Amino acid sequence: MRRYGDRDPIAARATGQGALAIVRTSGGGSLDLLARVFSRPQALLDAPGNTVIYGWIVEPGAFRRNAAGPNETRRAGTPDEPRRVDEVLVSVYRAPKSYTGEDGADISCHGGEAVVKAVLETLRKAGFSDALAGEFSFRAFMNGRLDLTRSESVMELVSAKTGEAAERALRRLSGVLEREFHQIREKLLESLSAVEIFLDYPEDEIDGEAAGPLPYREAAEEALRRLETLAASYRRERLYREGAIVVIAGRPNAGKSSLFNALLREDRSIVAENPGTTRDWIEASLSFEGIPVRLIDTAGLREDASDPVEEIGVGRSREMLENADLVIYVIDGTAGVTGEDRAFFSTPKKFIPVWNKADIAPSGSRPAEIFLPEKSAALSAKTGEGIETLCRIVAESLLDSQACPDAGDSFSAGEPPERPESVHGLSGWGMGLGSDRQKDLVDRAVFSLREAFFLADKKEPLELIAPFLREALNSVGEITGEISTADILETMFSRFCVGK
Ligand SMILES: Nc1nc2c(ncn2[C@@H]2O[C@H](COP(=O)(O)OP(=O)(O)OP(=O)(O)O)[C@@H](O)[C@H]2O)c(=O)[nH]1
Ligand SMILES: [Mg+2]
């Protein structure tokens, strides 16, 4: 069983379905192994890094010295004819200038399942192992090519569902978050190194600033503020990454399926004038202003379903409503708001009321207490009028529910979230955390720092406070993957003169 951290030459398909596929290889000695199954071994071995070589993947050992020379005719199937697996282009990388930091090659072959399988099988015969999930990025991290935040953003990019989600991941890949954590770390180091020196050499002369109850407290406070800002932005980042479930509900015949189709710009769900048309829920993926959404059309809600099948459908609609992050509640404008609609409005579910069929039903008759401006929409699923407004309201509403930080999680009560740019000139909400792992570590750091300040306020001795600062620093170091006590020492001695 292979493990992360092995250094064997590895190979794996790196692309999905298509006319061409890329099989990526990496590891010390990988080019030598590849040469064993490549029609032009010497050309490959001589190739400088970042060059592309044309050739064939062939069965291992096929090119023997006594194989037919270039001027001799060879017939397919004769013992000397190598079995050709695929015609390929090989991009050659040489350490350290590669994604993983190791020697390696990307084999661009044909994309058919059978071809890719045969190429991988041939590579196995040559001595490559199958790469584990994420192993190339793991190696990139181990070889110092990517920090952990950037490694995670690679994974994000691979699964990004909307342009906005991809853009946010790209920002993280470019190192925005890594730099922010470095700066936070620097701030913490300033404070902690002053504390350490104070503990180690209490009799030494230390400038007045450092000799207070918690030396360089402002630096640690700034670190806390920045960590809190990152924590507060996380739910929003997760929304762009993981998306939301939006359910279209309402009474039979309200125009739910028509709206579903209009939002999708496609006739996906059956529309008919008889109530009870939609029996089972139907879903589609789409983007609301960059937020990936699973949009679900459901069977109309009514107590007295006309037959058992419709009844099951209504049951399923209610299940979908349970799971919804947001409900688009459609009202048939020609029928107005009924008792059943009002029953729904009294549930705690977050919903947007939609007054449908505005082309034939005047929207003036809408009850104002339900149809609040900017929180509801009047539209016609038939003509498309008002759909854009609904999309905007859906996006705002989804973002709204993510904006407030978890209760007691990141802010003391009553404190509004600060936008990063207002504090540090950074890129506003655009810079946020990229994974639950990062969020957990940020939370841990925030917890440790709050504990440190709590003790400092109580004038507790530095011996008690220092471990919390160290914990915060370790958590931040873990985020980027660079914890090292040597760093603490280096910063400490470069800032204080103790060698007298
Ligand atoms: N004039 C007008 N008719 C509409 C509009 N939206 C839907 N309709 C009509 O209303 C009827 C019902 O539409 P559907 O979209 O099937 O309604 P539904 O809510 O999905 O109905 P069930 O699936 O039965 O619950 C159809 O005849 C539609 O053409 C609209 O905006 N304007
Ligand atoms: Mg329907």
Look at ligand 1, atom 13, and give the residue with the nearest C-alpha. Answer: 255
Q: Which of 401, 428, 456 is the last residue of a domain?
A: 401
Q: Which domain holds residue 46?
A: 10-144
Q: Is residue 228 domain-shared with residue 246, that is, in the same domain?
A: no
Look at ligand 1, atom 9, and give the residue with the nearest C-alpha. Answer: 255
From first to last of its 500 residues, the chain has per-residue pLDDT tens of: 777 667 889 999 988 888 999 999 999 999 999 999 999 999 999 999 999 999 999 998 655 444 444 444 444 545 566 789 999 999 999 999 999 999 999 999 999 999 999 999 999 999 999 988 778 887 888 888 877 788 778 777 777 888 888 888 888 888 888 999 999 999 999 999 888 888 887 655 555 444 457 878 899 999 999 999 999 888 888 898 889 999 999 999 999 999 999 999 988 888 888 888 888 889 999 999 989 999 999 988 888 777 888 888 888 888 889 999 999 999 999 999 999 899 999 888 899 999 999 999 887 788 888 888 889 999 999 999 999 999 999 999 998 876 544 433 333 333 333 433 333 333 344 578 988 888 989 999 999 999 999 999 988 888 899 999 999 999 999 888 776 444 443 433 234 322 21
Q: Is residue 232 domain-shared with residue 245, that is, in the same domain?
A: no
Q: Which of 353, 375, 401 is the last residue of a domain?
A: 401
Q: Is residue 252 domain-shared with residue 272, that is, in the same domain?
A: yes
| CA 360 to ligand 1 center in whole angstroms | 12
Would you say the CB of residue 255 lies under 6 angstroms from ligand 1? yes
In a domain, 155, yes or no: no
What CATH number is associated with residue 467? 1.20.120.430
| CA 248 to ligand 1 center in whole angstroms | 13
Q: Is residue 388 domain-shared with residue 288, that is, in the same domain?
A: yes
What CATH number is associated with residue 290? 3.40.50.300
Q: Is residue 306 domain-shared with residue 343, that is, in the same domain?
A: yes
How many other C-beta atoms are found inside a 10 Å radius of the C-beta of residue 121? Answer: 12
In a domain, 409, yes or no: no
Would you say the CB of residue 272 lies under 6 angstroms from ligand 1? yes
Q: Is residue 233 domain-shared with residue 258, that is, in the same domain?
A: no
Q: Is residue 260 domain-shared with residue 378, that is, in the same domain?
A: yes
Q: Whole-angstrom Cα distance, residue 330 to residue 351?
A: 10
Q: Which of 271, 274, 328, 329 to mutate to test the pocket of ligand 1 (most atoms within 8 A of CB)?
A: 271
Q: Looking at ligand 1, which atom is closest to the CA of residue 273?
A: 27
Would you say the CB of residue 300 lies under 6 angstroms from ligand 1? yes
In a domain, 178, yes or no: no
Look at ligand 1, atom 8, and give the residue with the nearest C-alpha. Answer: 255
| CA 257 to ligand 1 center in whole angstroms | 7
| CA 462 to ligand 2 center in whole angstroms | 67
Q: Is residue 280 domain-shared with residue 395, that is, in the same domain?
A: yes
| CA 384 to ligand 2 center in whole angstroms | 17
Q: Is residue 308 domain-shared with residue 223, that is, in the same domain?
A: no
In a domain, 85, yes or no: yes
Overall number of domains in the chain? 3
Q: pLDDT value at position 203?
A: 57
Closest alpha carbon to 434 in 426, 424, 442: 442
388 exposure class (CB count in 10 Å sphere: 0-12, 13-18, 19+): exposed
Q: Is residue 228 domain-shared with residue 349, that is, in the same domain?
A: no
Q: Is residue 275 domain-shared with residue 374, that is, in the same domain?
A: yes
DSSP designation for 76: T
Q: Whole-angstrom Cα distance, residue 354 to residue 352?
A: 6
Q: Which of 378, 401, 424 is the last residue of a domain?
A: 401
Count H helices and E strands in the chain, helices first.
16, 12
Ligand number with the minimum distance to the CA of 273: 1
| CA 357 to ligand 1 center in whole angstroms | 8
Would you say the CB of residue 254 lies under 6 angstroms from ligand 1? yes
In a domain, 408, yes or no: no
What CATH number is associated with residue 120? 3.30.1360.120
